[in-house]
Structure 1
Amino acid sequence: MLKKIIPVALALSTVTFTSVFAMPSAQASTEPNRYIDVQMLGINDFHGQLDTVKKINNKDAGGIEYLGAYLRDREKQNPNTLKVHAGDVVGASTPVSALLQDEPTIEFLNDLKFDVGTIGNHEFDEGVEEMNRLIYGGYHEKTGNFKGAKFPYVAANFYNKSTGRLFLPPFTIKKVQGVPVGFIGVVTTDVPNLVMPTMLKNVEITDEVEAINKSVKQLKKLGVKSIVVLAHNGGT
């Protein structure tokens, strides 16, 4: 499926260094354009693997201690760092997260001060209501009250069939040294083939490209020139 996409500044990768564009003010129109180096640290398909450790090159790797230390170490290299995730951070999780409704995974991301995330197909594993509880907080009979994520989730192609409205904001804007950076989220249209139908009642997933292009236009109208797409699509 190939369709035209309005060019955007960035697509997510695990560690990205880039420059964002700062518009000169009207009062300083003779000042040359200013660029700011921004580092983006991204994860995806974490699946609540809080305590999973594997051997890589005969060395132990994995677990939240390793991931947390790695991200903090990389963050020290650039004060202009944004931490993001591209979905499937919960679902198909290990017991340490799954038995507590994946709340420990969200708390881990909160502790690391993630800036923005999007949803993947596994965020639907227990339905939209439970997804919203993990994002916005709420009560569960197994775990009691939960405060939810301390960072925004975005999804530009995830609609409520009954109302025609998006379940989540299509994008969010973060400022780095006063420069706006837009983040658009999309989830794969394969969700209906990957999730039990009972968990997708009243859900419509629209074309990713069309959703991205629509949000890009809106962000440009708001004066945002640096745009990142967080796409949970296939192995992204």
Structure 2
Amino acid sequence: MTRRRTILACAAAGLTAVGLAAQPAAARPAPTASVRLLALNDFHGNLEPPSGSSGRAIDENGDTVLAGGAAYIAAHLRQLRNPDTLTVAQGDLIGASPLLSAAYHDEPSVQFMGDIGVTASAVGNHEFDEGYRELLRIQNGGCHPVDGCSPAGPWRGAKFDYLAANVLKQRGHAERPILKPWTIRRINGVRVGFIGVVTKTTPSIVTPGGIKGLKFDDEVAAANRAARELKRRHVRAMVLLVHEGDQVRPGTRPDDCGAVPGAGSRIAREADPEIDMVLSGHTHQQYICSVKDPDGDPRLFSSGSSFGRVITEVNLKVDRRTGDIVRSSVKADNHVVTRDVPPDPATEKFVQTWKDRVSAIADKPIGKITADLTRTPSPAGETALGDVIADGQLAGTKDLGAQVALMNPGGVRTDLVYKTSGSEGDGVVTYGEAFAVQPFSNVMGVTSLTGAQLDALLEQQWTPAGEKILQPSANLHFTIDRSKPIGDRVSAITIDGAPLDPSATYKVAANNFLLGGGDDFTVFTEGKNQVLGPIDLDTLVAYFNAQGTISPPPLNRISGQ
């Protein structure tokens, strides 16, 4: 058709050539796509607002404010979200949880995480507290093999993907991750890959029996394998969710980095340069950092405190042509989950439902205290609450022949405070409060160690990874000297007032975490004639019942500096 005929045809149709030419061309998409990530880490089942120091955070003004609680998390997330948002997490969402969540094997917390839109999370070490098979149940669904279904009915599984690129199990002739190593999400027309890894130290900080047959590979090696796999699938925008982190220098403002380089920043520096950012957890610290990747390019490295007190917001742009994150566009901030906003009503109702279900157990008084029993250490590392727990463990294992008891400090999760937390009255300790102190349901046991082995065990309180002072029962005393080399710091060990006999045999009580070599106390695994007894929490409850009222003991069982 000639140009003239084209014009006539257009005119016949009620159009003009001028009008046709005036039609705008199809709008081209922007060269980059905006994406917002909102991240949580180390929630530990804190559906209710955490109390004490665990419920406070430092805001952007440097002020200490109340923070955390599921209903406030939901409210803040609603304010922070836009249409291009993905919500992720960095592990320890469950485990070491308050009774409200733990009584039902943390199903309430996992449901809450799904309800607020978490789409992927790295596994944390505490996800293995009840063993990896229980973690698989939490991911995939099904009722608990011992306790059955919760009051909510059959568990349907997590609504999000747990990622575990470095947790391997032999399958046939190959080692394969027990859960997905990575996952891909599409948002605003682009694809983002998420990789999850957990600290490779997990075998030393969880009950060994629950992870038997698993290998915890180096985090960087596993992340790099996953990155190569994502690249083969033409995914170039990559985020590493890692349950490992660094500490923070004292006095650091929350908007500063201030991180003391450690295991977390090693991962952030050494991981494949295809990985664009590293969101971390585990150390319960709060920081926003920039590190150099192996190619020398800047890479975000962040952590968002713990117990639901902080939400990390990351804004970024993805190049639509290459599919990669534009590093220069990455902006991050840690938002404190303050309690000065209206709590989310649906979440409040959800939490109250579970409170009602567990209240008959949680509110039962077990005894009284005359003052706070805290985890505040003496110069030698001894704590009042640790001492009381060790005393209760010794009393609860006497019928198994125990002569002394030792408690790991990391298993004491919160303080017992004198001031009432509800309607029970000042000084009254409830089952729920005791559970918050010892939430792991570890089994107590007694093993036989020679005096020389007990001495060697106490020397294992110091490792290159740090110090962990065991809390002794009242009849065990020793002196420490941190100025001496590791392996020669403990002296003057006495039991019932008598010097330790290196050749004699002593029956030592401890929880199964320690007896299995947890926290690198490997000498425990050399013990003989091990027998198991009650749950650790049950020994504490029975001790309170027997004593009636307990006062803070003097911190004189461990001497030295």
TM-score interval (norm. to shorter): 0.7 to 0.9
Q: CA deviation at 1:155?
A: 1.3
1:92 corresponding residue in structure 2: 96
1:71 corresponding residue in structure 2: 77
CA deviation map 1:48-72 (0-9, x unaligned): 0111333555754221111111111
Q: CA deviation at 1:218?
A: 1.2
Q: Which amino acid aligns with 2:225?
A: K
2:87 corresponding residue in structure 1: 83
Q: Which amino acid aligns with 1:155?
A: A
Whether the 8 Å CA contact 1:45–1:88 is kept in 2: the answer is yes
Q: Which amino acid aligns with 2:224?
A: N
Q: Which amino acid aligns with 1:92?
A: A
CA RMSD in angstroms comes to: 1.8
2:187 corresponding residue in structure 1: 176
Q: CA deviation at 1:227?
A: 0.3
SS at the partner of 1:153?
A: strand
How do 1:60-209 residues align onto structure 2 when only pairs under 5 Å count?
60-75=66-81, 78-140=82-144, 141-144=146-149, 145-161=154-170, 163=172, 164-209=175-220
SS at the partner of 1:52?
A: coil
SS at the partner of 1:138?
A: coil
Q: Which amino acid aligns with 2:190?
A: V
Q: Which amino acid aligns with 1:50?
A: L
Whether the 8 Å CA contact 2:33–2:189 is kept in 1: the answer is no
Distance 1:219 1:132 in 2: 24
Distance 1:175 1:233 in 2: 26
1:20 corresponding residue in structure 2: none
1:26 corresponding residue in structure 2: none
Task: Answer yes or no: is 1:223 the counterpart of 2:234.
Answer: yes
CA deviation map 1:149-208 (0-9, x unaligned): 011121111111454221011110000122110000111100011111111111101111
Distance 1:47 1:80 in 2: 27
Q: Which amino acid aligns with 2:156?
A: K
Q: Which amino acid aligns with 1:135?
A: Q
Aligned residues: 204
SS at the partner of 2:143?
A: strand
Q: Which amino acid aligns with 1:44?
A: N
Larger radius of gyration: 2
CA deviation map 1:28-57 (0-9, x unaligned): xxx898211111100110000111333555
Q: Which amino acid aligns with 1:174?
A: R
Q: CA deviation at 1:123?
A: 0.4
Distance 1:178 1:59 in 2: 39
Where do 5+ consecutive residues of structure 1 fail to align? 1-30
Q: CA deviation at 1:139?
A: 1.4
2:33 corresponding residue in structure 1: 36
TM-score by length of 1: 0.81
Distance 1:32 1:52 in 2: 43
SS at the partner of 1:224?
A: coil
TM-score by length of 2: 0.35
Q: Which amino acid aligns with 2:158?
A: A
SS at the partner of 2:192?
A: strand
Distance 1:60 1:147 in 2: 34
Q: Which amino acid aligns with 1:197?
A: P
Where do 5+ consecutive residues of structure 2 fail to align? 1-27, 58-62, 246-282, 284-302, 304-561
Aligned match for 2:42, one of 32, 40, 45: 45
The verdict on how the C-alpha distance between 1:223 and 1:66 changes in structure 2, with shifts beyond 3 A counting, is same
1:210 corresponding residue in structure 2: 221
Per chain length, whose mean CA-contact separation is higher, i.e. which structure has more relative contact order (CA < 8 Å, sep 6+)? 1
The verdict on how the C-alpha distance between 1:222 and 1:58 changes in structure 2, with shifts beyond 3 A counting, is closer
SS at the partner of 2:43?
A: coil
Which region of structure 1 is more displaced relative to structure 2, 203-212 or 158-167? 158-167
2:529 corresponding residue in structure 1: none
Whether the 8 Å CA contact 2:90–2:124 is kept in 1: the answer is yes
Whether the 8 Å CA contact 1:162–1:202 is kept in 2: the answer is no
Distance 2:134 2:164 in 1: 16
Distance 1:101 1:149 in 2: 13
Q: Which amino acid aligns with 1:84?
A: V
Percent identity between the two aligned chains: 42
Q: Which amino acid aligns with 1:99?
A: A
Whether the 8 Å CA contact 1:156–1:184 is kept in 2: the answer is yes
Which region of structure 1 is more displaced relative to structure 2, 126-135 or 154-163? 154-163
Distance 2:221 2:35 in 1: 27
Distance 1:100 1:70 in 2: 26
The verdict on how the C-alpha distance between 1:215 and 1:58 changes in structure 2, with shifts beyond 3 A counting, is closer
